[in-house]
Amino acid sequence: NAGVMQNPRHLVRRRGQEARLRCSPVKGHSHVYWYRQLPEEGLKFMVYLQKENIIDESGMPKERFSAEFPKEGPSILRIQQVVRGDSAAYFCASLLTSQETQYFGPGTRLLVL
Amino acid sequence: GQNIDQPTEMTATEGAIVQINCTYQTSGFNGLFWYQQHAGEAPTFLSYNVLDGLEEKGRFSSFLSRSKGYSYLLLKELQMKDSASYLCAVRGARTGGSYIPTFGRGTSLIVHP
């Protein structure tokens, strides 16, 4: 997986709590994509970020979801007031430029009780 | 819009050859990817096609016909460890400054002895 790190690997939250998912891209990569995957389904694009910029957030719900990729540190996907429907695996992928192949992290499996 | 179709499930015998098809309708085309995903793990890059023809990489080969909107992944000398989901993803036209790949739902391949 070319060194993409995600943590935590598993996250359990109760309805109404906040979930913070972290993604550290491959060293030197400045592009990060976030995806959501439900069981037996494909990866659904959520948001594309470059350092300090959101390039495309067309796949991310307008409410409760936000993402950032600061100049220093990992990219963060934040889900406020989680609901059971947010339970899924969340993957990030990093790449050197927008034309390159994406390398995926191991994912964070979020379970909302 | 983007639409990716691939069979839901396939089975094959150890040592045999299997072909997993993928058809797509996209607005623009900037490459097709195949990923392998074992249960509970991250997708792993297998191949990339942007021009028509066959790309061979060891036991795996991938073919693309842009005029037909068609690709296949060919796996030879199947091994039990090849049991996994195989994801077809197409990168369409650049929109809003980004290339957002669209993923199919994946083909679950079961290899039996």
Would you report the helix, strand and coil content of chain B in percent, each value rounded to 5?
A: 5, 55, 40
**Per the CB < 8 Å rule, is B45 touching A98?**
no
Of B43, B45, B98, the CB nearest to A98: B98
Query: Residues in chain B with pLDDT < 50?
Result: none
Q: What is the pLDDT of residue B1?
A: 64
- Average pLDDT of span A56-85: 94
Cα–Cα dist A104/B10, whole Å: 25
Q: What is the pLDDT of residue B68?
A: 95
pLDDT, greater one: A55 or A99: A55
Confidence label for A1 from pLDDT (cuts 50, 70 and 90): very low
Q: What is the pLDDT of residue B96?
A: 60
Query: Hey, CA dihedral for B50, A30, A47, A105, is it positive or negative?
Result: positive
- Nearest residue of A to residue B104 by CA position? A42
Burial class (CB in 10 A: 0-12, 13-18, 19+), A28: exposed
Residue type (1 letter), B37: Q
Q: How far is B31 from chain A (nearest CA, A)?
A: 9
CB B13 within 8 A of CB B109: no
Q: What is the pLDDT of residue B104?
A: 93
- Average pLDDT of span A67-88: 95
Neighbouring CB atoms inside 10 A of A68's CB total 15
As a whole number, the mean pLDDT across chain A is: 91
Cα–Cα distance list, A39 to A36, A92, B73, B87 (Å): 10, 17, 23, 14
**Per the CB < 8 Å rule, is A1 touching B44?**
yes
Determine the 3-state secondary structure of B1 from DSSP.
Answer: coil
Determine the 3-state secondary structure of A19 from DSSP.
Answer: strand
